[in-house]
Amino acid sequence: MTSKCVISLDLPEDIVAPLSDQFDLLTWSGREAMPEVTLQEWLADAEGLLCALSTPITASVIAGAEQLKVISTISVGVDHIDLAAATAAGIPVGHTPDVLVDSTADLAVGLMIAATRRIAEADRWIRTGQWSQGWQSDLLLGTDLSQATVGIVGLGPIGEATVKRLRGFGATILGWNRTPKSLEGVEMVDLEDLFRRCDIVSLHTALTPDTLQIASRKRLASMRAGATLINTGRGALVDEAALIEELSTGRLRAGLDVFETEPLPADHPLLSLDNAVLLPHVGSATFSTRMAMVTRALDNLRAGMSGQPLPFCANPEVCGFNG
234 is catalytic: yes
Q: How far is the CB of 100 from ligand DGY (least distance, A)?
A: 6
Which DSSP string do the residues of 120-183 spell out, in sequence order? HHHHHHHHTT---SS--TTTT----GGG-EEEEE--SHHHHHHHHHHHHHT-EEEEE-SS----
Catalytic residue (choose from 95, 197, 219, 234): 234
Catalytic residue (choose from 187, 245, 260, 262): 262
Residues 277 and 279: their CA atoms lie apart, in Å, by 7
Catalytic residue (choose from 219, 281, 296, 302): 281
Q: How far is the CB of 181 from ligand DGY (least distance, A)?
A: 21
204 is catalytic: no
Q: How far is the CB of 77 from ligand DGY (least distance, A)?
A: 3
Map residue 300 onto helix, strand or coil.
helix
Residue in 298, 300, 323, 321 with CA at minimum distance from that of residue 311: 300
Residues 246 and 220: their CA atoms lie apart, in Å, by 8
Residue in 50, 100, 78 with CA at minimum distance from that of residue 314: 78
Q: How many whole angstroms from its chain centre is CA 315? A: 19
Instruction: Give residues in contact with ligand DGY (CB under 6 A).
Output: 53, 75-77, 100, 283-284
- Tally Cβ neighbours within 10 Å of residue 285: 15
Q: How far is the CB of 53 from ligand DGY (least distance, A)?
A: 6
66 is catalytic: no
Taking the least distance from each CB to ligand DGY, the nearer of 33 and 122 is: 33
Taking the least distance from each CB to ligand DGY, the nearer of 184 and 210 is: 210
Taking the least distance from each CB to ligand DGY, the nearer of 205 and 284 is: 284
DSSP run (H or E) holding 71: strand 70-73
Taking the least distance from each CB to ligand DGY, the nearer of 76 and 243 is: 76
Taking the least distance from each CB to ligand DGY, the nearer of 61 and 76 is: 76
What is the largest distance, in Å, between two alpha-carbon atoms of the chain?
Answer: 73
Q: How far is the CB of 106 from ligand DGY (least distance, A)?
A: 13
User: Which residues are known to be catalytic?
Assistant: 234, 262, 281
